Chains A and B, each alone.
Chain A
């Protein structure tokens, strides 16, 4: 069933991507402070600390790309950017799982923050796939 008019962009997906962007910005700043705290307080082998910090910047790159492509693909009703965004959800989820479970020292606060990110990804993946399906049913210009 097609929505009235030709608007196939998913409003819930757009809302989630918008909120995800803001949430991730806060998460990134918080993680920088948490790493300063952990670096000063906990016994870190310097290779592990360097790895965690570099991964955090890699995560920033992945997330910014993902949200930008997802938002543009959804608003312009283009399949390619949206599918790039959906594909990037998987490495982003892997990064969130890394910071939740596998990093050297995981604080409870970090566990909760990463769990919320994983929740975002799950819902965005679902909505993204549904939106992509609805784009594919109509011929694009």
Chain B
């Protein structure tokens, strides 16, 4: 199989799509915060839910930085397993987050999407970092 197959742009585009949706949710998180609160709520309850969602989104952005660093530096760009996993995870995340945004899901559901679609590829990425830098294995 050629080194630069269609998997590299697919991975990059699904990663970017997921990133764009996360930034969009960050920008308009008011609806999702309100969906997690009871009908009558105090300002402190709102702020607590808001902080929870902000933390979740910020951690997601941090893990994006990890995965983009691994991808752009070449460590995992040509590793087909990681590319496949990443493409699948980020594509599902993009669809799930579209539902999250348009159907105004509550913010506790975000953690499930985060676990499977952000934490999993980032964990594999860190594993690859360790195996390349620590155990001196080749990035492929």
List the B residue with the shortest CB-CB distance to A22.
B9
Q: Dominant SS at the B interface?
A: helix
A26 on the B face (CB < 8 A):
yes
| Contact indicator B13/A113 (Cβ below 8 Å) | no
- On whether the beta carbons of A23 and B27 are closer than 8 Å, the reply is no
Q: How far is the CA of A104 from the CA of B27 in the complex (A)?
A: 21
The answer for the CA separation of A15 and B75 in the assembled complex, in Å, is 13
The answer to whether B72 has its CB under 8 Å from any CB of chain A is: yes
Rounded to whole angstroms, the CA-CA distance of A112 and B18 in the bound complex is 12
Q: How far is the CB of B9 from chain A (nearest CB, A)?
A: 4
* B24/A23 in contact, CB under 8 A: no
On whether A19 and B9 interact (CB within 8 A), knowing A109-B20, A112-B20, the answer reads: yes
Contact size class for B? 10 to 19
Chain A residue numbers with a CB within 8 Å of B27 are 108
Closest to A26 in B: B13
Q: Give the CA-CA distance A113 to B24 in the complex, in Å.
A: 10
- The smallest C-beta distance from B101 to any residue of chain A, in angstroms, reads 11
- Chain A residues whose CB sits within 8 angstroms of the CB of B4 once the complex forms: 18
Task: Please classify how large the interface on chain A is, using the bins under 10, 10 to 19, 20 to 34, 35 or more.
Answer: 10 to 19
Task: Tell me, yes or no, whether B16 is within 8 Å of chain A by CB.
Answer: yes
Q: How far is the CA of A24 from the CA of B44 in the complex (A)?
A: 43
Determine how close the nearest CB of chain B comes to the CB of A137; give it in whole angstroms.
Answer: 25
Are A23 and B72 in contact, with the CB atoms below 8 A?
no
Question: What are the residues of chain A within 8 A of B13 when measuring CB–CB?
Answer: 22-23, 26
Which has the most chain B C-beta neighbours within 10 Å: A19, A23, A116? A19
Interface string of B1-29 (1 = CB under 8 A from A): 00010000100110010001001100110
Which residue on A lies nearest to B73, using beta carbons? A12
| B27 CB to nearest A CB, Å | 6
- 20 A-B pairs whose Cβ atoms sit less than 8 Å apart in the complex: A15-B72, A18-B9, A19-B9, A19-B12, A22-B9, A22-B13, A23-B12, A23-B16, A26-B13, A26-B16, A108-B24, A108-B27, A108-B28, A109-B20, A109-B24, A112-B23, A112-B24, A113-B20, A116-B16, A116-B20
Known pairs A112-B23, A116-B16. 16 more at Cβ < 8 A? A18-B4, A18-B9, A19-B9, A22-B12, A23-B12, A23-B16, A26-B16, A108-B24, A108-B27, A108-B28, A109-B20, A109-B24, A112-B20, A112-B24, A113-B20, A116-B20
